[in-house]
Amino acid sequence: MHSSSELIEKLRNLEATIGVIGMGYVGQPLALRFARLGYKVIGFDIDEEKVGLLNSGKSDIEHISDEEIAEANAAGMECTVDIKRTPEADALILCVPTPLNKYREPDLSYVINTTDSFVPYLRAGQVVSLESTTYPGTTEEELLPRVSLSGLTVGEDIFLVYSPEREDPGNASFTTNTIPKVVGGHTSACLEVGKALYGQAIDRIVPVTSTKAAEMTKLLENIHRAVNIGLVNEMKIVADRMGIDIFEVIDAAATKPFGFTPYYPGPGLGGHCIPIDPFYLTWKAREFGLHTRFIELSGEINRAMPEYVVGKLVKALNERRKALMDAKVLVLGIAYKKNVDDMRESPSVEVMELLRDGGAEVAYSDPHVPVFPKMREHKFELASVVLTPESIAGFDAVVLATDHAKFDYDMIRENAQVIIDSRGTYRTPAENVVKA
């Protein structure tokens, strides 16, 4: 029988080979961290183009430099599309997407198809760790039975853990290793292996008693954010109607040294976590006959924000004797949050679609997204507009959707006919600035 102690030893002594499945926004930083420590790393991905790019020392993510990829390759990282090579790895870490389908139900197809693809090649002495955000019970209900098909005993021959990713792209204050890592194992032996897997790479490991508790932890983190953003988005509408600046109010409230955490309103929620993850719990709660009213309410409020922003634009154009139909509108910032190139679930894209549906001529400018990318749900044949006094003056309206640091806000304000500011960037009242 293969015991856990041998695998733990290998992991602790940096002698293990780490397999990262899914080399995206989550998988890449993790693979780089393991490679930097001296582990041999194999990155698996289904995208041949991406694998070729990474193997040639090039990055496809803006905040990860080509040098970092090249250094990792020199240290022994390699990427492949060949899932048959999984037995070479002692650890398999799954970093694949878990989106929602059009009925706002969890789409676990990436997790399940990936697991099905490597199960035939599993061997004794491996640990499988899922990092994708999902509902409590996924590891036990979906991964456990599949991994058990290998004929290996989980907790004795092979080990199963859930450890949710906690990336904050664009936040320079935190790197992969400084963000504490929650780990839950299927058995106590699985947990020990999980702690050894991440122990060298992450400064602080936070063990919990089960994979379900680890899955729920990730959901609580993101639901906490979604609900609080929903709350300030609702407060923003009330404050606006009363002629109060919500950003002034939040800043003032944030001086309270206890019991208040500032959250800021915006044009809706973006990214691959906050708009999606709460609905994993909503879906799973139904099985227990429960309704997650807070989650559903905040989701409703947040989803209504793009329309609120467009409503403000229509009113501003109307006051200038213009219609939305045929108006030339520039959307500033289309990534889901500032200073990154990640477009997933970006509310800016929804704003663009509402404008296009209303007959406006839409353009965008984003220093992080030179060309509008191919997306599963959205299609625009556009490239980023270069901002000059002339180009800005040529638009009937400018919508500030994502407040990238690279924008020259003074120059924009001086030349725009009207700005719809959904981020509270312009604090000083100006004739041509409308808060949204």
Q: What is the DSSP code (8-state) at residue 93? A: E
How far lies 162's CA from each of 26, 87, 90, 202, 220, in Å?
15, 20, 16, 15, 15
DSSP string, 293-359: HHHHHHHHHHHTHHHHHHHHHHHHHHHTT--STT-EEEEE--SSSTT----TT-HHHHHHHHHHHTT
Domains of the chain and CATH, by start: 4-209 (3.40.50.720), 219-300 (1.10.1040.10), 304-435 (3.40.50.720)
| CB contact at 8 A, 211 and 154 | no
Q: How do 40-44 and 77-80 pair as beta strands?
A: parallel
**pLDDT at site 161:** 98
Active site residue 95: no
| CB contact at 8 A, 80 and 110 | no
Q: How many contiguous H segments (helices) and E segments (strands) does the chain have?
A: 16, 13
Q: Quick check: helix, strand or coil at residue 32?
A: helix
**pLDDT at site 2:** 61
Q: Which of 79, 95, 190, 273 is catalytic?
A: 273
pLDDT digits (tens, 9 = 90+) for 47-60: 999 999 999 999 99
**pLDDT at site 274:** 62
Instruction: Say if residue 1's pLDDT is above 60.
Output: no
Rounded Cα distance between 146 and 295, Å, is: 31
pLDDT digits (tens, 9 = 90+) for 79-130: 999 999 999 999 999 999 998 888 888 999 999 999 999 999 999 999 999 9
Instruction: Say if residue 223's pLDDT is above 70.
Output: yes
**pLDDT at site 277:** 80
